[in-house]
Structure 1
């Protein structure tokens, strides 16, 4: 991972992170650093997954299991084609104004049952 990457984690929801194992949390932090600033999504292809596995010391099988767990807990939302939405209530890279818009859309979609 590039040393210049960052992600913001919101203190009001850090209790949610306690649901994760140490390895799951480290993977989530790595994924959060890769999300776009405009829509909180991350594109995960095989090369990116392998790079994260190498950085955190896990197998591709472990990565698949971690992604499944992150989706189940709504830390990530599958968008299709290897694209995931990172839960904006937990983490974002957007500025405050954009993060608020992303969060409001996320809450609306969650209430409408768009995330299964």
Structure 2
């Protein structure tokens, strides 16, 4: 089976779209970064280094310092697929991030987005 093309896409090429989606709805880049750090365990400096290196999605998640165990609480539909039903681990991580950014753009409070 061939890898999905998103695995080889640079995270930095998609990141501005996450920020734009959030900002269109009155949210901030800082909030997007907070979500990414919560999900992956990267520090802000490490996140910025990954963006600068143009790391692909597969490597971005593979090198994540500490994937948040609470991410299993993320439920719902992204692109017509239930994130909790995705079997492929890397795709599930990507969709978790998509879902969190969607929730941010829909106006959910950070406390709920970060499953506190």
TM-score by length of 2: 0.30
* Bigger helix share: 2
TM-score by length of 1: 0.30
* Bigger strand share: 1
